Amino acid sequence: MTEVRINNARFYAHHGVFDYEKTHGNEFGVDIIMKCDLSDLKDSDDLHKTVNYQSVYKLAEKVFKENKFNLIETVNKKLCMDILENFPLVKSVIVKIRKPNAPLGIIDSVEIINEISREEI
């Protein structure tokens, strides 16, 4: 298995329970770790035989910008499922979403981590 990672992608979106979070938004940090079967890649240099991480990034951006969820747990699960549904070479995915400025007090961020494998769907 090969791991393909997107580290600390940042999206500005409007997720949160409170009205001001939905109105004003927040920046979110996202890590995506995909465990992929790239056995068909062998010694080739063919993009179609691997996972196009630009396409994964665009999918993540779409999930963040086209929805307004109350919970980042929901955003996380949707992103995991969408990656598995759209990228057949991905056998499992770990998504970490960080929410800085969560309304708790003085913290760096709140983080939600999900790992979902193809066998689970």
Digit-coded pLDDT (tens) for 87-102: 999 999 999 999 997 7
Tens of pLDDT, residues 1-16: 899 999 999 999 999 9
pLDDT, tens only, 48-65: 899 999 999 999 999 999
Domain 2-120: top CATH class = alpha beta
CB 6 within 8 A of CB 59: no
Boundaries of every domain in the chain: 2-120
Give me the pLDDT at residue 31, please.
Answer: 98
